[in-house]
Amino acid sequence: MKTWGGRFTEHMDSVFERFNNSFDTDQRLIFEDIEGSMAYASTLERAGILSPEELKQIGKGLADIKKRVEKDPGWLSGQKDEDVHSFVEARLHEIVGDVALKLHTGRSRNDQVSLDTRLFLKRAIIRVQVQIKSLNRSILNLSKTHLDVIIPGYTHLRKAQPVLFSHYLLAYFEMFQRDYDRFDDCFRRTDFMPLGSGALAGSGFPVDREALRKELGFAQLTRNSVDAVSDRDYLVEFVSGAALTLVHLSRLAEDFIIYSSTEFGLLELSDAVTTGSSLMPQKKNPDSLELIRGKAGRVFGHLMSLLTLLKGLPMAYNKDLQEDKEILFDTLDTLVECLQVAETVAKTTNVNRTVARECVQRDFLNATDLADYLVGKGLPFRKAHELVGKIVLHCEAHKIPLDALPLAEFQSFSELIGDDVYTALSLENCIQSRSVVGGTARSRVLEAIEEAEKRLAIGE
């Protein structure tokens, strides 16, 4: 059933009809569309447009459609309706007759779809946030399990300074916590009720928008009817937040791919998140992580598509906006799956403590601590930096670590160096000396873990 057509005298071209129809995509909004229609019917009854009996009939008809979909989701497959709105209206007409034709009074598909996507997105954001919190819980548990493990910290993918493995993991906790907070902001700007805006000028009937807002659970009303039907900022914010979350997931994936390689050997991925080779029997490939890394690009593309879709649209609603649903749904599905897989990786990854210990004892990761030691003896940092560079060069030439250099050789470079230098160069000191807030000292990491636990507990 077409929801329009009175001024048309010719049939729509069959190819264009398939091109125009969006039901295969926007059927995912059916529960939101039914919910909005139920609330709108109540408003029409309060405005005197529907009688109490008509409201009862429409309510029962919409409830029957909802139950049918819940019982048999396959019912939606193959339907030929133009979109989810016309599908609901057509099925309602089949159930309750012509009273269904009153439901669209003062309402446009323009404000209807804005309502549906906002209702859907509010629930989607909560779903994403639950999954982010679950991933962060797994990261936190991994941090607590390996609190005593020291690994090389890297800059430029070159060994830099030793850090606690827990401290490294908590960096990702912070990234994902920011993502969680960004979705809070997105939720706040999504939480505006647009119904009653009509096609663009507002409803011509005394629709109680405030009552609609309360019934549908929105925080505020949209303030301008033209903006309400053309605004998709909330979708851009969601896809942008998803893209940034996937940046962080992709970085985590890249790290774990590298650290679990034979060349590094710091981590071992479980069989639950790896695959084999069809040719090489010995292979154990990190496909879970590679797919996360690859799917990030998919969502980046969605963000650019959505921005491009919006950038040249004249006011107010345009059919171009039909394309936003595919972007929204695929972004949501991709993000949730990637978060779920990343959580499984975090839950099942093993740390090779022996390899970690060996890695931090090579390649002069305590060189900065020697410079700090010299500064403590009164040498200006720039001179200390230059001097330690020469000592490292000497140790490289003789293939010995800094903390194995005899005291006499140390003192040949500087008389400021005493036998307490070996304490300063110990791995334990390298970690414990970084005791500023946010540093890798064990006491600070324990504080960070305790604080992270509190942050995760909010809302539980």
Q: Which of 244, 125, 234 is nearest to 179 (CA)?
A: 244
Same domain, 100 and 122: no
Which pLDDT score is estimated for 363?
93
Query: Does residue 456 lie in a domain region?
Result: no
198 vs 230: CA distance, rounded Å: 11
Which pLDDT score is estimated for 78?
83
Query: Does residue 76 lie in a domain region?
Result: yes
Same domain, 264 and 191: yes
**Which residue among the candidates 11, 14, 77, 156 is catalytic per the annotation?**
156
395 vs 399: CA distance, rounded Å: 6
425 vs 420: CA distance, rounded Å: 9
pTM: 0.93
Query: Does residue 66 lie in a domain region?
Result: yes
Structural domain including 398 reads 367-425
Same domain, 372 and 300: no
Which pLDDT score is estimated for 16?
74
Total domains, the chain: 3
345 vs 253: CA distance, rounded Å: 9
Question: What are residue 152's DSSP bridge partners?
Answer: 162
Which pLDDT score is estimated for 252?
98
Same domain, 135 and 272: yes
169 vs 286: CA distance, rounded Å: 19
Contacts of 37 (CB under 8 A, 6+ apart): 58, 62, 88, 92, 103
* Residue 5 binned pLDDT confidence (cut-offs 50, 70, 90): low
Average pLDDT over residues 213-242: 98
Average pLDDT over residues 337-350: 97
Q: Please say whether the beta carbons of 150 and 355 come within 8 A.
A: no
Query: Does residue 48 lie in a domain region?
Result: yes
Query: Does residue 3 lie in a domain region?
Result: no
Average pLDDT over the chain, rounded to an integer: 95
CATH number, residue 372: 1.10.40.30
Which pLDDT score is estimated for 280?
87
**Exposed/middle/buried for 458, CB within 10 Å: 0-12, 13-18, 19+?**
exposed
Same domain, 327 and 390: no
Query: Does residue 114 lie in a domain region?
Result: yes
Q: Please say whether the beta carbons of 62 and 56 come within 8 A.
A: no
SS (H, E, C) the chain: CCCCCCCCCCCCCHHHHHHHCCHHHHHHHHHHHHHHHHHHHHHHHHCCCCCHHHHHHHHHHHHHHHHHHHHCHHHHCCCCCCCHHHHHHHHHHHHHHHHHHHCCCCCCHHHHHHHHHHHHHHHHHHHHHHHHHHHHHHHHHHHHHCCCCEEEEEECCEEEEEEEHHHHHHHHHHHHHHHHHHHHHHHHHHCEECCCCCCCCCCCCCCCHHHHHHHHCCCEECCCHHHHHHCCHHHHHHHHHHHHHHHHHHHHHHHHHHHCCCCCCCEECCHHHCECCCCCCCCCECHHHHHHHHHHHHHHHHHHHHHHHHHCCCCCCCHHHHHHHHHHHHHHHHHHHHHHHHHHHHHHCEECHHHHHHHHCCCCCCHHHHHHHHHHCCCCHHHHHHHHHHHHHHHHHHCCCHHHCCHHHHHHHCCCCCCCHHHHHCHHHHHHCCCCCCCCCHHHHHHHHHHHHHHHHCCC
Cis peptide before 316 (omega within 30 of 0): yes
Same domain, 46 and 172: no
Identify the domain boundary among 323, 358, 393.
Answer: 358
43 vs 211: CA distance, rounded Å: 8
Average pLDDT over residues 238-267: 97
Amino acid identity for residue 321 in this structure: L
Which pLDDT score is estimated for 19?
77
Angle between helices 30-46 and 209-216 (to 10 degrees): 140
| Catalytic residue status for 277 | yes
Same domain, 98 and 114: no
Query: Does residue 4 lie in a domain region?
Result: no
Reply yes or no on whether the pLDDT at 460 is more than 80.
Answer: no
Which pLDDT score is estimated for 243?
98
Which pLDDT score is estimated for 21?
84
Query: Does residue 457 lie in a domain region?
Result: no
Identify the domain boundary among 358, 375, 403.
Answer: 358
CA 336 vs CA 188, 325, 331, 348, 458: distances in Å:
20, 17, 9, 19, 21
pLDDT > 70: what percent of the chain? 98
pLDDT tens readout for residues 12-67: 777 877 877 888 999 999 999 999 999 999 999 999 999 999 999 999 999 999 99
Strands 158-164 and 150-155 come out as antiparallel
Same domain, 33 and 92: yes
**Which residue among the candidates 261, 277, 435, 443 is catalytic per the annotation?**
277
Contacts of 403 (CB under 8 A, 6+ apart): 366, 422, 425, 426
CATH number, residue 236: 1.20.200.10
Same domain, 74 and 209: no
Reply yes or no on whether the pLDDT at 2 is more than 70.
Answer: no
Reply yes or no on whether the pLDDT at 1 is more than 60.
Answer: no
Average pLDDT over residues 410-429: 96
CATH number, residue 26: 1.10.275.10
Same domain, 330 and 419: no
pLDDT tens readout for residues 285-331: 999 999 999 999 999 999 999 999 999 999 999 999 999 999 999 99
Average pLDDT over residues 323-342: 97
Amino acid identity for residue 269 in this structure: L
CA 235 vs CA 178, 197, 226, 230: distances in Å:
19, 19, 17, 12
| Catalytic residue status for 203 | no
Which pLDDT score is estimated for 9?
65
Which pLDDT score is estimated for 397?
96
Same domain, 153 and 256: yes
Answer with the residue of higher pLDDT: 173 or 460. 173
* Residue 281 binned pLDDT confidence (cut-offs 50, 70, 90): confident
402 vs 396: CA distance, rounded Å: 9
Q: Which of 255, 109, 121 is nearest to 186 (CA)?
A: 121
Which pLDDT score is estimated for 11?
78
Same domain, 272 and 383: no
Identify the domain boundary among 358, 385, 406.
Answer: 358
